[in-house]
Chain A
Amino acid sequence: MIYAITIYGEPGVFEALPKDRQDEVMSGHRALQAVLSERGEFVSIKLMPPTSAVMVEPAASEGAAPLITDGPFSETKENFLGFYAADFKDLEEALEHAKLISSPVAQLEVRPVAWAGGAISSE
């Protein structure tokens, strides 16, 4: 089963940490990446800060073009920062791996993937 380990946090907090704390967080990520790459294919993504985002809103009416807006309005609350996706034996194994990147700046969500295509495939 493919599981996604999704990372939420307040944008900017990681950058505000002292260097040695940043290194601590990064070493967790490097450890997870090393383990996952030994196991096979995986996907990992770190998003740029939300300030670089542009929104595509649904069209206002049928036949109209989707609306592109320059939001989102900034939220200082938790924000989607990035994710890992890889094949795990079961939930227990996925949770064990997620622990490697647990830190006070990250809320992690471990959720099974219903379908995956592209670089890793669920089929």
Chain B
Amino acid sequence: MSDWLEATFAEQRPRAIAALTRVFRDLDTAEEAFADACLKALAVWPQDGAPRDPLAWLLATARNAGLDDLRKSRRRAAILSRHAEEFQPMPAETPDPDEMRDDVLRLLFICCHPELDRRDQIAIALRVVVGLSVDEIASGFLVKSKTMEQRITRAKKKIANNPVAFEAPSPAERQARLGEVSTMVYLMFSEGWSTSAGPQQIKLTLCREAIRLARLLVALFPAMGEQAALLALLLFQHARRRARIDEEGKLVALDDQNRDLWDRSNIAEATSLLQKAQRIGHRGVYIIQAAIAAAHACSASSKETNWALIESHYAALYALQPTPVIRLNQIAAQAKLYGPQYALQAMDPLSQELSNYRWFHAMRGGLLQEAGEHKAAISAFETVLALSPTTLECDVINEKIKISQKELEGL
């Protein structure tokens, strides 16, 4: 029975913690109160049946539990006296949707505290909002539990020392928070997707939780095209999870993936979300990236991919975000259209800015190899190896070096 209830708690947790954080103005108190309410639910629901509105039940129970604790604890007497006037009995109904939306956004934004570095922001969101255990988060980041525990404690302290305002945000502030939170969710997914050594399964937890948070944002902000597009983008990418690593544990490049292994239900959902986002109309960075991912997802092979469309999407993305990495991706699409020589020339102006970027040299090596310039290719690949790639990347690069060496020996 408890599995089913745990799943309900997991689903309700972000909204519940968000509302409780507004009530108690303290993350730890909110988390403890919610944990208390879940324990009570485990005892009560199997006997009396689950309530029709589980969130309202959990909130009312958590609030009472939290208040009891506060009264008993001298440590928190200060919080109580500061906010005494706000602690009215909570009605047993779900908060107003607008208020709920601001609560969840505020909670996520608290996790994106500017004084925290990105990885700590992600870790604290996983702990507080998603409810992963410290052990689970630690294995997602491939660090020791003890280290993660300390990082989370330190992060919480920084947040408590410089709290985020609890008033309802202005529309501009709401927009800014949504942008910041979306970036964090995107980077949470990337962290899970990155291929540092370590069991893939554990890291995929981060991807799944990022998708859940992206889904939550779409549920709360149904009229925001960028958030629907972000969810679409993550689902398009997640769909490739079984194809990107082969049976021997080797990385498989997008061009070489067995597309039958792509998850069709992810792609179908992502496609419909992208259509919804495009209807809303605003052309932001996520919508363009999702459109690029869609162009890959609907092609039977790399050869049959509409590279001209992808190239034009990258051009549009570069207009919004003129970074050398986006330019490099645009050139990668141009290489498919106009050949390796064209792309190699186009890359040259980026060589200074991207001199420490592994993918720049890996791509250059690949293009040189394609152009038959194997000596230069090997030297580009060796540059990649000098830039501390992950073990999985090393394997790929070493194999490419071998191919070029064989070509040279053959001459």
Bound: A70/B281 CA distance, A: 12
Which of A8-16, A31-39, A59-67 faces chain B?
A: A8-16
Q: Is A105 at the interface (CB under 8 A from chain B)?
A: yes
Bound: A71/B218 CA distance, A: 9
User: Which of the residues B4, B12, B279 comes within 8 Å of A21, measured between beta carbons?
Assistant: B4
> Are B12 and A76 neighbours in the complex by a CB distance under 8 Å?
yes
Q: Which residues of B contact A77 (CB under 8 A)?
A: 52-55, 94
> Are A70 and B222 neighbours in the complex by a CB distance under 8 Å?
yes
Q: Is A17 at the interface (CB under 8 A from chain B)?
A: yes
> Are B4 and A76 neighbours in the complex by a CB distance under 8 Å?
no
User: Which of the residues A18, A70, A76 comes within 8 Å of B280, measured between beta carbons?
Assistant: A70
> Are B212 and A12 neighbours in the complex by a CB distance under 8 Å?
yes
Quick one: which of A11, A16, A21, A105 has the most chain B CB within 10 A?
A16
Q: Is A121 at the interface (CB under 8 A from chain B)?
A: no
- Majority secondary structure of chain A interface residues (helix, strand, loop or mixed): loop
B309-364, CB < 8 A from A: none
> Are B269 and A52 neighbours in the complex by a CB distance under 8 Å?
yes
Q: Which residues of A contact B11 (CB under 8 A)?
A: 10-13, 16, 76
Bound: A74/B1 CA distance, A: 26
> Are B215 and A49 neighbours in the complex by a CB distance under 8 Å?
yes
> Are A73 and B268 neighbours in the complex by a CB distance under 8 Å?
no
Q: Which residues of A contact B197 (CB under 8 A)?
A: none
Write the chain A residue with the least CB distance to B224: A70
Write the chain B residue with the least CB distance to A51: B218
Bound: A116/B218 CA distance, A: 34
A103 → chain B, closest Cβ, in Å? 8
Q: Is A114 at the interface (CB under 8 A from chain B)?
A: no
Q: How large is the interface on A (under 10, 10 to 19, 20 to 34, 35 or more residues)?
A: 20 to 34
> Are A54 and B219 neighbours in the complex by a CB distance under 8 Å?
no
Q: Is A48 at the interface (CB under 8 A from chain B)?
A: yes
Bound: A74/B55 CA distance, A: 13
Bound: A75/B15 CA distance, A: 11
> Are B55 and A12 neighbours in the complex by a CB distance under 8 Å?
no
B2 → chain A, closest Cβ, in Å? 10
Q: Is B3 at the interface (CB under 8 A from chain A)?
A: yes
> Are A48 and B268 neighbours in the complex by a CB distance under 8 Å?
yes
> Are A74 and B269 neighbours in the complex by a CB distance under 8 Å?
no
> Are A16 and B222 neighbours in the complex by a CB distance under 8 Å?
no
> Are A16 and B10 neighbours in the complex by a CB distance under 8 Å?
yes
User: Which of the residues B7, B94, B219, B228 comes within 8 Å of A16, measured between beta carbons?
Assistant: B7
Bound: A16/B11 CA distance, A: 7
Shortest Cβ-Cβ A-B pairs, 9 listed: A74-B219, A104-B4, A16-B7, A51-B218, A16-B10, A12-B11, A70-B223, A70-B222, A17-B7
* Contacts A/B (CB < 8 Å), 22 sampled: A12-B11, A13-B11, A16-B7, A16-B8, A17-B3, A21-B3, A21-B4, A48-B268, A48-B269, A48-B272, A49-B269, A50-B219, A51-B218, A51-B231, A54-B279, A70-B279, A74-B97, A76-B11, A76-B12, A76-B15, A77-B55, A104-B4
